[in-house]
Amino acid sequence: NTELVIEAGATLHCAVALQKAIIVTGDNCRITGAGTILSPAVWNGSTPQPAYATVWVEDCIGFYATGITFYNIPKTGIWFQDSTQWRVENCTFLGNYPYADYNESITTHHFGIGYNPPADALGLDTWGQVVGNSFSMCVTGFIFGNFGATATTKGIAVVGNAFKNCWAHAVY
């Protein structure tokens, strides 16, 4: 039940690229506003499952983000780990992953938004919504998948988003 507001014109600077910059572990949290979260211009697109993100949301119910610009995404803009009933709306993901560094066989894990669902939430109707966002220069704009032995991905809405220069996939 906490909200972080990044107002228009404000920039939250992440000092270190290859770590979790903002960690959310509580239910019903929000990141809102019209500001920017800026990471250093360092990229990692190697294939292991992400262990860090600009915003890392874990074991939460009811996360919401709107209006935020993510500029320079080192690995993942927002990563949802074992979380449900989340929504990302009207955000801009400017990954800036250099196309010259993209290699289809080894640089496939750089995402605007990534989702690894919990194994024990199979009865929930609404797991996640990706609505009205803009994704550019990410290897993959949005990925939802099963990175665990028993997790199941279902109930994802991906509606009204724009994807430009996503080197491997818009949605995977």
Give the Å distances, CA to CA, from 9 to 33, 35, 36: 10, 6, 8
User: Could you tell me which of 126, 116, 36 has the C-alpha nearest to residue 85?
Assistant: 126
Read off the pLDDT of residues 99-137 as tens digits, 9 standing for 90 and up.
999 998 888 889 999 998 887 655 555 589 999 999 999
pLDDT at 48: 83
Measure the CA–CA gap between 41 and 79, rounded to whole angstroms: 19
pLDDT of residue 168 exceeding 90, the answer is yes
What confidence tier does 151 reach under pLDDT thresholds 50, 70, 90? low
Q: Give the separation between CA 71 and CA 155, rounded to whole angstroms.
A: 28
pLDDT at 150: 61
Its pTM stands at: 0.95
Whole-number mean pLDDT of the chain?
91
43 or 4: whose pLDDT is higher?
4
Tell me which DSSP letter residue 15 carries.
S
